[in-house]
Structure 1
Amino acid sequence: MAGGFESLGLGEELIQAIEGDLNWLLPTDVQDEAIPLILGGGDVMAAAETGSGKTAAFALPVLQLVMETKRREAGGKSGTTCEGEAKNERDWRLSGVDRDGMLGIEGVDGSQAFVTTSRWVGGRSTLGVCKGKAYFEATLLEEGNQGVGRVGWSTARANYNLGTDKYGFGYGGTGKKSHEGRFETYGEIFKKGDVIGSFLDLEKGIVGFSKNGAYLGDAFVMEESLKGLAWFPAVALKEARIQMNFTGPFRHPVPTERGFLGVAELPLDGVLKPDFSKHSASGAGSGGGKGGGNSLGSPFAIIIEPARDLAEQVYSCICDYSRHVEGVDIALVMGGNDQRETKAGLRSGCDIVVGTIGKLMDFMKRGLLNMDRARFLILDEADRFLEAGERADVMTIYQRLPKGGVGDQRLQVCFFSATLHSPEITELAKAICDRPTWVDLKGKDSVPEAVHHVVVEMDPENSALQTLLHPTSSPAAQHVVTDNVHAASSLSQDPEEVERRSDMIKRLKPLVLLKIIEAYDMEQCIIFCRTNLDCNNLEQFLNFAGGGQMFKGKVEKGKENIYSCCVLAGMRSMDERRRNLQAFKEGDVRFLICTDVAARGIDIQNLPFVINYTLPDAVENYIHRVGRVGRADCLGLAISLVAASGYQEKVWYHTCTNKGKGCSNREVTDKGGCTVWFDEYDMLRQVEARLHTETIPRLVPPNFALPPAIKSSLGGAKYGEAVSKQVVNETVAKHVALLRPAVQELIDLEQRAQTTWLSLRQRYGGGRAGLG
C-alpha cells in the first residue's frame, strides 16, 4: 500500500480518475490485496467487510486488463504501421498505458521500470520509431534472487514478454538474444551497473546491442515485411529494476558517424505516437464497434450482480473509474432499462457487461449476448446467488464461457462479498474456480468496527411504551397502520393474548421510531423493513407524522419535512427506486425505507444511522444491513427494534402462488397458511453471538439515551463523522495484537531461510546466476 495505486500496476488513465477526480489517496486493504492478484492472472475469492472498497478491488484490475488486451489485439491497426499520423512529440518515456499491469514505473521522467513478481512483465515507450537509425540506453539497477531482464525493440502488437513473438527483438542478461521465442547465444552476460545500448537501423532492418560502449555485433536482420512498422523501445523484467535513458546525456557516445541518433533527437516525421482508441480489437469475430468496441455482443468481462440497484451502482462506479479511458465500452444489462438501447449497445460491441443474472440468462438464450471472448467472470455478492437459489443459473453462464485458454488467455473467475464462508460457496468455488487465492482480510467473523450496536426491546407490558399508544400523549398513534396479519376475530379469541401482544408490538414500533428520530435529531437514516408491505405502511405513517406531505421530487432547498421519506423496495419500479435513492443521496429526504435489496453494496457516504425496524431472517443480512454505516472510517449507529424476550411477532410468509397479492390466509404455514411466528429475540441472540458480545447495549424508554460507555467512546465525534484519533489508535492496537503472532512466525521462517541459504552457499560455492 505504501506505493499507492500506481504501485499496484494500474495505468495512468485509471490513476487520474481515482486519485485526481475521486480524491482517493491510498488503496484499501482489499484493493491492496486483490488488485495485484487479479492482474497476475489468478482466480480470487475476496471476503471483506462492507464499505471496504470491494467494487474498485475487482473493477480496476478488470479495466486495466481489458485495456491491455485490446491494445495488444489492436496492435496491427494502431501505432504499428508508419503510414498516416506522425505526431510532433518529444515526450519519450515508459508508457503507463502500453505495458503489463504488473510493471511498475517510477521517476519524475517515467524512466525507471521495476517488477517484483516471479513472472515476465514488460512494457514499451510512449513513442515509436518509423524510420532512420535510433539508439537508447538501459542500465540494470537491481536484481532479486531470480532477477532477469531483457531490453530491445518491439511493435505495438508484440507480447510484453519481449522476444517471444515475431514482433519483438530482445537481448537478455545471460548473453542471449531472443526473437519468436528462440533464445540464441549473443554477446556477453550483463549484470547490475552495466549499460546496454540498443540500436535500430530501419534502413537495413538491423537490430544490435552494445555493452558498456562496446558494440556486440548485429543481432537480427528483419524480414522485409517488418521494416514498415513502428518500433518502440521495450523492456521485459522479472524481479528486477532498470533505468531507461531515451533523452540523454548518454553514458557512452552515440555513433553518429554511422548515422545513429538518440531516439529523442530523431526528426519528427520519423516518430509515431500510437492512438489505440481509434481502432477496434482485431481477432476472430471482430466487428465494428463504437469507440473501439469489441466484437458483436462479445464482452471480455462479465460482472454479475444479485439486484438491479446494485448492478446500476457498480455500472456507475466503473464508468467513473474509466472516465479517462478511451476505447473501452461498458454495458448495463438488467430489467427496467430501455432494452432497445441495451441491445443496440451490445450489437455495437462492448467490452465489459454488468448485469443481473436473470437478464443475462435471457439475453444469452435469445442470442443477444455472445460469450465467446469472455476472459473474466466476476460474481459480486456471490453468496446472495446461492441464497436466492440461483446456483444453476450461475453454472449455466459459466458453462457458456470459453475455458480452453492458458496464461493470460485463460478464464479468470472471482468471487467478492462480505461473507464467503459457507459450505455452499466452497462447493461452487470448487466447481468454477481454478486454485483461487483467498483474500480474507477479517475472517468469517468480521463486522464493521466503526459501528455501535444498540437495541430497543419492544415489551408490550412496559408502561413507558404503553403510554405511547394513547393519542393524548402521542397524536401519531391514531395514524399507525399494521400489516393486518391479525384479524379482529383472532384478537377477540385470544385467551393467551399472544395475538394481542404481537399486534401491540407492531403498533409500538412506528411510535418508538419517532421518539428515536427525535432523540438523536436524525438528518439521514436508512430504515430496514422486512417486507414491501411494511415499507409502504411505514412510509404512509411517517408522511402523516410529518404533516401529510409525501415526497414528490426534488425541492428547492432542504428536506420535505422532518420525517420526509421514500422507499427502495422490490415492488417499486426501477425508475422510482432510482429517483428515490438519488433523492436520499442528495439530501432531499431524510429517511430511506427499504428491504434487504438495499443491504448489498448501496453506498451512501457518511451515513450516520441505520435502524432495523425488524431484524432480518438471517444473521448475515444483519451484517450487510449495518454495513451501510461505519464506511470509510466514519462512525455509525445501528439501532434495532426487537420484540422482547418471551414475545413473538406474527408476520407474513407467503407461500401462495400470487406471492401475497390479495392474500388473506392468516393461518400459519404449518396449517397451509401464509404466516409464521417470528421469534425476533432468538434472532437477536444469534446476532449477539455473531458480534461476539454477550449483550448488545439497550436504549431505555422514555428518552432512549446512549449508554454512557458508548457515549464516552465517541471521543467528541458525531455519528457520520470520521473516527477520532483515539478510536483509530485503539483499533490499530487490536489489529497489531491480532497479527503479532503471525508476523513473528514469518520472521522466524525468514531467518531460518536466510541461514539455510548462507550455509548452502558456503558449502557449495557462491557463483552468481546470470540474467537472461
Structure 2
Amino acid sequence: MAGGFESLGLGEELIQAIEGDLNWLLPTDVQDEAIPLILGGGDVMAAAETGSGKTAAFALPVLQLVMETKRREAEGKSGTTCGAGEAKNERDWRLSGVDRDGMLGIEGVDGSKAFVTTSRWVGGRSTLGVCKGKAYFEATLLEEGNQGVGRVGWSTARANYNLGTDKYGFGYGGTGKKSHEGRFETYGEIFKKGDVIGSFLDLEKGTVGFSKNGVYLGDAFVMEESLKGLAWFPAVALKEARIQINFTGPFRHPVPTERGFLGVAELPLDGVLKPDFSKHSASGAGSGGGKGGGNSLGSPFAIIIEPARDLAEQVYSCICDYSRHVEGVDIALVMGGNDQRETKAGLRSGCDIVVGTIGKLMDFMKRGLLNMDRARFLILDEADRFLEAGERADVITIYQRLPKGGVGDQRLQVCFFSATLHSPEITELAKAICDRPTWVDLKGKDSVPEAVHHVVVEMDPEDSALQALLHPTSSPAAQHVVTDNVHVASSLSQDPQDVERRSDMIKRLKPLVLLKIIEAYDMEQCIIFCRTNLDCNNLEKFLNLAGGGQVFKGKVEKGKENIYSCCVLAGMRSMDERRRNLQAFKDGDVRFLICTDVAARGIDIQNLPFVINYTLPDAVENYIHRVGRVGRADCLGLAISLVAASGHQEKVWYHTCTNKGKGCSNREVTDKGGCTVWFDEYDMLRQVEARLHTESIPHLVPPNFALPPAIKSSLGGAKYGEAVSNQVVNETVAKHVALLRPAVQELIDLEQRAQTTWLSLRQRYGGGRPGLG
C-alpha cells in the first residue's frame, strides 16, 4: 500500500505504521486508481465489511490534512498588518502559486492568468499586498463554461478564497452583484467574456469600487475601521472560467491618476507588503475562519463522532498511535466518564482533532468549550448507529454548527463510515448533511467477512439430549443457572407444551449449552453477546459459579484460576470498569468477554477465534457487526448462535416503564401494558440467513456439538484465530479485483473523457493549450 500514499507526502515511518491496517482497502492492481475516492475533498459514504480497517481509512486522511494545513499555516503569511513587512525592492506582482486554493490553476510566464475547471468556487490572491495609498488593477474574463463566472476584488490574508464570503474580502461578480460577508447585492452590471473590470482600492477613504470597460460604477464598499490597517491583496474567485489579471500595465483603460490612483506595480515601495512565508501565521491564511486560525481554544480541524464511549476511546487511541509518527498534531477525547478537568485543559492548550461521543460534544459546544469555526472534517463513525439510538436531530445540530462556506479543500467534508450504510434512513440523513457524496462500497450491502464460519445450535426444549442437561447428575452446573426472572417458577404450568414453560426451559438451557460448546472447542478466548445488561449480569454470575466461584478482580490475579473467567462490557457498567474489562480481555487475563451490542461495533481484538450469540440481536444488521469481531485481518473465525428452535419463542424483557426496568416486575406483554415481548429468534435466524445468502446455516448437534464435515474440511488444518491459507487469501483478492475492476475502469474512463473534452474545448476556443500552474 505504500505506493498509494507516497505521493501524498507522508513520512515513510507513518506509511509503514498504517499500511498493515489498510491492507483491506483495495486489491493491489486497482488501489492506486480508487484511493482518491476516500482521500478526495468531497463528501464520502464508505461501507466495508467489519474488520476491514475503516478506522485507519479515515484516520489517515485526517492526519494528512491536518499536517498539510498546519504546514501551510506555518509557511503562511506572517505579515497581515502593514508596517512590518514592506516589499523593499520587490516589484514581482503576479498571482501567487502558494496563496491560493489548490484547485486554482495558474498559467502564463508572468503568472497573470488563472483558470478553474470545477463548478465550485475556487480562488487565490496576488504575491504582494497594498498597505496605503490608492491602487488599481484590471481583470479580463477570457472564457467561461456553461456555469462559468468570475469574481474580482480585494482581500486580506485572513479571507476565504471564495472572495466576498467573509468580512475580509470585497468582490464584484459577473452576475452584477457585489459581495461582502456573504451578502450579494446588485451593483453595476453583469460582465462576461471580453469585458475588462477595473478594481479600485482607496485606503485613504477606506473605499472599494469597480469599473466596467473604463466606466466607473461607483463606490461599492466602505471599510470598517478595523480593516484599514491590514494589507489588501488583489484577489479572484472563479468557477468554470479563465481570467487574466493585469498588474503592471499598459492598461486597457486609463488609470484615473488625477484622482490619485496608481497601478499596483507603480505604488511607492513603502506602501507595498511582501508576505513572509517563513514564519508561523496566526491568521490561518485562506481558512476563512475570520476569528484567527492557529491552534486556538477548542477549535478543532476534524470532528470524529462515535456512537459509544468504548469506541470513542479505541478510535482516539488509534489516532494517537498514528500521530506519534508526525509532529505537532494535538488530539482530544471528549466523552462522559473521562476526567473533565483534564479534557478541558487539553482543549485550552489547543486541539486539531476531536474524537467524542455525541452527547458530550453537544454539551461542550453549548458551554462554549468547542469552537467549530475551524472545522473542515466531520466524520460519523458507525453512522447508522446514531439513527438506531434516535440521535438524528443531534447529528444535524452539530452539522449546523460547522462552517460551510469554503471551496475546494477548504470546504466542510462530511464522511459516513460503517459496515452497514444501505438503509433508507441513512439515505435521508445523507441528503440532509452531505453534498453529492461519493459512495465507496467496497463489497456491497450484503457483504460479510469471508473468513467467518457461521453455525447455529437450535434450542429445542423437546430435544432429549438437551433436556438431559437440566439434571444436576449429568450437568452439575445446572444448579447455578440464573434467569432474567421473566417467568416465576412457582406459577409455571406443568404442561410441557405451555409456551411460558417452554420459554423458561430455553432460558435455562442456554447457559448449559454454552458450557458444552466452550468445552467442545476448548475455547481460550471468546466474546459472548447478550441482549440486555441483565442477561450479561446473570451470565457473568453463572460462569463464575460454574468455574468455582472465583470472580475476576482485575490485576490482583490473572483470572485463569477460574476456567470460565469472564468480565462484562455493557452500558450499565461504569466507563472505568468497561475500560479495565476490555483491557483484561485483550491482555488474556480472562477468557470470556460478555457484551451487549455496545461492543458489537468497532472493538478490535487481534486474532479473536470465537464469538457466540447467546441471544440473537433485535436487528439483523447488528448480527453483521457482532460477527465482525472475528474474521479480522484474514484470520479464521467461528460465529455460533444459540437460537430458540422453530415453533418456540422466548419471552424477554422490553421495558416501556419510566424507570427503564429498575425494580419493574410487570411481566405482561407490552400490548397489555406490560414490559415483556415474545422474541421469535427463529424468525430472526431466517433474516440472518437471507442476509448471508444461504438457505440454511449449518447446525451443531448435541451432545458433542461437532463442526459439520463441510466446514471442518475447509479449515485445511488451520485453527480459528489463525491466518487463512495463501490459497484462501488469493481467492479473496481475486474476488475483490473482479468486483471492483468495472467500477474503477469506469472512473478511469470518465476522467480521461473529462480531460480530453477540456483540452478539446481549450484548443477550439482558447487559442492554445492550458498552462501547468
Same fold per TM (> 0.5)?
Answer: yes
Q: 3-state DSSP class of the match of 1:578? A: helix
Q: 1:237 to 1:449 in 2, by over 3 A?
A: farther
Where does residue 48 of structure 2 map in the other structure? 48
Provide, for residues 613-649 of structure 1, a one-character-per-residue CA deviation record: whole Å limited to 9, x for no partner. Answer: 0000000000000000111111111000001111000
Q: 1:72, CA displacement in angstroms?
A: 2.2
Report the more deviating stretch, 234-243 or 762-771: 234-243
Looking at structure 1, the residues matched to 33 and 556 of structure 2 have their Cα atoms a distance apart, in angstroms, of 43
Query: What stretches of structure 1 of length at least 5 have no aligned partner?
Result: none
Looking at structure 2, the residues matched to 404 and 210 of structure 1 have their Cα atoms a distance apart, in angstroms, of 27
Q: 1:110 to 1:418 in 2, by over 3 A?
A: farther
Q: 1:673, CA displacement in angstroms?
A: 0.6
Q: 3-state DSSP class of the match of 1:399? A: helix
Q: 1:726, CA displacement in angstroms?
A: 2.2
Q: 1:654, CA displacement in angstroms?
A: 0.5
Tell me if the contact between 2:529 and 2:594 (Cα under 8 Å) persists in the aligned partners.
yes
Looking at structure 2, the residues matched to 429 and 507 of structure 1 have their Cα atoms a distance apart, in angstroms, of 44
Query: What stretches of structure 2 of length at least 5 have no aligned partner?
Result: none
Q: 1:366, CA displacement in angstroms?
A: 2.0
Tell me if the contact between 1:612 and 1:638 (Cα under 8 Å) persists in the aligned partners.
yes
Looking at structure 1, the residues matched to 391 and 345 of structure 2 have their Cα atoms a distance apart, in angstroms, of 28
Tell me if the contact between 2:160 and 2:287 (Cα under 8 Å) persists in the aligned partners.
no
Report the more deviating stretch, 153-162 or 716-725: 153-162
Alignment of 1:318-337 (within 5 A): 318-337=319-338
Looking at structure 1, the residues matched to 200 and 307 of structure 2 have their Cα atoms a distance apart, in angstroms, of 55
Report the more deviating stretch, 427-436 or 348-357: 348-357
Looking at structure 1, the residues matched to 182 and 354 of structure 2 have their Cα atoms a distance apart, in angstroms, of 35
Report the more deviating stretch, 272-281 or 196-205: 196-205
Q: 1:153 to 1:631 in 2, by over 3 A?
A: farther
Tell me if the contact between 2:27 and 2:737 (Cα under 8 Å) persists in the aligned partners.
no
- Aligned residue pairs total 771
Q: 3-state DSSP class of the match of 1:677? A: strand
1:26 aligns with 2:39: no
Q: 3-state DSSP class of the match of 1:10? A: coil
Q: 1:747 to 1:54 in 2, by over 3 A?
A: closer
Tell me if the contact between 1:173 and 1:771 (Cα under 8 Å) persists in the aligned partners.
no
Q: 1:158 to 1:663 in 2, by over 3 A?
A: closer
Q: 3-state DSSP class of the match of 2:111? A: coil
Q: 3-state DSSP class of the match of 2:318? A: helix
Q: 1:685 to 1:539 in 2, by over 3 A?
A: same
Tell me if the contact between 1:139 and 1:194 (Cα under 8 Å) persists in the aligned partners.
yes
Looking at structure 1, the residues matched to 575 and 565 of structure 2 have their Cα atoms a distance apart, in angstroms, of 21
Q: 1:403, CA displacement in angstroms?
A: 1.6
1:151 aligns with 2:152: yes
Provide, for residues 562-593 of structure 1, a one-character-per-residue CA deviation record: whole Å limited to 9, x for no partner. Answer: 21110000000000000000111111111100
Looking at structure 1, the residues matched to 225 and 397 of structure 2 have their Cα atoms a distance apart, in angstroms, of 49
Looking at structure 2, the residues matched to 454 and 245 of structure 1 have their Cα atoms a distance apart, in angstroms, of 74
Q: 1:728 to 1:103 in 2, by over 3 A?
A: farther
Tell me if the contact between 2:288 and 2:406 (Cα under 8 Å) persists in the aligned partners.
no
Looking at structure 1, the residues matched to 407 and 659 of structure 2 have their Cα atoms a distance apart, in angstroms, of 48
Q: 1:2 to 1:503 in 2, by over 3 A?
A: same
Tell me if the contact between 1:567 and 1:593 (Cα under 8 Å) persists in the aligned partners.
yes
Report the more deviating stretch, 735-744 or 320-329: 735-744
Q: 3-state DSSP class of the match of 1:316? A: helix
Q: 1:217 to 1:333 in 2, by over 3 A?
A: closer
Where does residue 368 of structure 1 map in the other structure? 369
Looking at structure 1, the residues matched to 565 and 94 of structure 2 have their Cα atoms a distance apart, in angstroms, of 56
Looking at structure 2, the residues matched to 244 and 324 of structure 1 have their Cα atoms a distance apart, in angstroms, of 42
Q: 1:74, CA displacement in angstroms?
A: 3.5
Provide, for residues 94-128 of structure 1, a one-character-per-residue CA deviation record: whole Å limited to 9, x for no partner. Answer: 99999999999999999999999999999999999
Q: 1:326, CA displacement in angstroms?
A: 2.5
Tell me if the contact between 2:140 and 2:193 (Cα under 8 Å) persists in the aligned partners.
yes
Provide, for residues 5-36 of structure 1, a one-character-per-residue CA deviation record: whole Å limited to 9, x for no partner. Answer: 32455455743643699999999999978863
Report the more deviating stretch, 435-444 or 317-326: 317-326
Looking at structure 2, the residues matched to 172 and 260 of structure 1 have their Cα atoms a distance apart, in angstroms, of 22
TM-score, length-normalised on structure 1? 0.72
Tell me if the contact between 1:68 and 1:99 (Cα under 8 Å) persists in the aligned partners.
no
Q: 1:130, CA displacement in angstroms?
A: 23
Q: 1:741, CA displacement in angstroms?
A: 6.4
Report the more deviating stretch, 276-285 or 430-439: 276-285
Q: 1:104 to 1:323 in 2, by over 3 A?
A: farther
Tell me if the contact between 1:311 and 1:332 (Cα under 8 Å) persists in the aligned partners.
yes
Provide, for residues 297-335 of structure 1, a one-character-per-residue CA deviation record: whole Å limited to 9, x for no partner. Answer: 222211111111111111111111111333222111111
Looking at structure 2, the residues matched to 428 and 311 of structure 1 have their Cα atoms a distance apart, in angstroms, of 21
Q: 1:371, CA displacement in angstroms?
A: 1.6
Report the more deviating stretch, 92-101 or 17-26: 92-101
Q: 1:326 to 1:233 in 2, by over 3 A?
A: farther
Looking at structure 1, the residues matched to 145 and 27 of structure 2 have their Cα atoms a distance apart, in angstroms, of 26
Looking at structure 1, the residues matched to 663 and 595 of structure 2 have their Cα atoms a distance apart, in angstroms, of 22
Tell me if the contact between 2:299 and 2:372 (Cα under 8 Å) persists in the aligned partners.
yes
Report the more deviating stretch, 716-725 or 610-619: 716-725
Looking at structure 2, the residues matched to 199 and 571 of structure 1 have their Cα atoms a distance apart, in angstroms, of 66
Report the more deviating stretch, 147-156 or 249-258: 249-258
Tell me if the contact between 1:305 and 1:311 (Cα under 8 Å) persists in the aligned partners.
yes
Tell me if the contact between 2:365 and 2:371 (Cα under 8 Å) persists in the aligned partners.
yes
Tell me if the contact between 1:291 and 1:328 (Cα under 8 Å) persists in the aligned partners.
no
Report the more deviating stretch, 573-582 or 184-193: 184-193
Tell me if the contact between 1:80 and 1:155 (Cα under 8 Å) persists in the aligned partners.
yes
Q: 3-state DSSP class of the match of 2:4? A: coil
Report the more deviating stretch, 748-757 or 473-482: 748-757
Q: 1:167, CA displacement in angstroms?
A: 17
Tell me if the contact between 2:135 and 2:263 (Cα under 8 Å) persists in the aligned partners.
yes
Q: 1:349, CA displacement in angstroms?
A: 2.1
Looking at structure 2, the residues matched to 650 and 39 of structure 1 have their Cα atoms a distance apart, in angstroms, of 48
Q: 1:112 to 1:698 in 2, by over 3 A?
A: farther
Provide, for residues 404-461 of structure 1, a one-character-per-residue CA deviation record: whole Å limited to 9, x for no partner. Answer: 2222222111111111111111111111111111101111111111100000011111
Tell me if the contact between 1:190 and 1:770 (Cα under 8 Å) persists in the aligned partners.
no
Q: 1:305 to 1:770 in 2, by over 3 A?
A: closer
Looking at structure 1, the residues matched to 55 and 26 of structure 2 have their Cα atoms a distance apart, in angstroms, of 15
Alignment of 1:257-276 (within 5 A): none
Where does residue 216 of structure 1 map in the other structure? 217
Q: 3-state DSSP class of the match of 1:276? A: coil
Report the more deviating stretch, 321-330 or 306-315: 321-330
Provide, for residues 533-569 of structure 1, a one-character-per-residue CA deviation record: whole Å limited to 9, x for no partner. Answer: 1001111111112111111112566834321110000
Provide, for residues 444-491 of structure 1, a one-character-per-residue CA deviation record: whole Å limited to 9, x for no partner. Answer: 111111100000011111111111111111111100101111013441
Report the more deviating stretch, 17-26 or 511-520: 17-26
Q: 3-state DSSP class of the match of 1:105? A: strand
Question: Percent identity of the aligned residues?
Answer: 97
Looking at structure 2, the residues matched to 642 and 578 of structure 1 have their Cα atoms a distance apart, in angstroms, of 30
Provide, for residues 135-182 of structure 1, a one-character-per-residue CA deviation record: whole Å limited to 9, x for no partner. Answer: 999999999999999999999999999999999999999999999999
**Superposed CA RMSD:** 9.5
Tell me if the contact between 1:34 and 1:46 (Cα under 8 Å) persists in the aligned partners.
no
Report the more deviating stretch, 759-768 or 469-478: 759-768
Looking at structure 2, the residues matched to 12 and 98 of structure 1 have their Cα atoms a distance apart, in angstroms, of 28
Q: 1:150 to 1:363 in 2, by over 3 A?
A: closer
Looking at structure 2, the residues matched to 563 and 264 of structure 1 have their Cα atoms a distance apart, in angstroms, of 82
Q: 1:132 to 1:391 in 2, by over 3 A?
A: closer
Q: 1:469 to 1:252 in 2, by over 3 A?
A: farther
Where does residue 343 of structure 2 map in the other structure? 342
Report the more deviating stretch, 209-218 or 316-325: 209-218
Q: 1:186, CA displacement in angstroms?
A: 34
Looking at structure 2, the residues matched to 203 and 651 of structure 1 have their Cα atoms a distance apart, in angstroms, of 79
Q: 1:347 to 1:770 in 2, by over 3 A?
A: closer
1:65 aligns with 2:65: yes
Tell me if the contact between 1:277 and 1:326 (Cα under 8 Å) persists in the aligned partners.
no
Looking at structure 2, the residues matched to 48 and 282 of structure 1 have their Cα atoms a distance apart, in angstroms, of 39
Provide, for residues 237-271 of structure 1, a one-character-per-residue CA deviation record: whole Å limited to 9, x for no partner. Answer: 99999999999999999999999999999999999
Tell me if the contact between 1:287 and 1:294 (Cα under 8 Å) persists in the aligned partners.
no
Tell me if the contact between 2:120 and 2:407 (Cα under 8 Å) persists in the aligned partners.
no
Q: 1:136 to 1:435 in 2, by over 3 A?
A: closer
Q: 1:560 to 1:134 in 2, by over 3 A?
A: farther
Q: 1:744, CA displacement in angstroms?
A: 8.3
Report the more deviating stretch, 111-120 or 175-184: 175-184
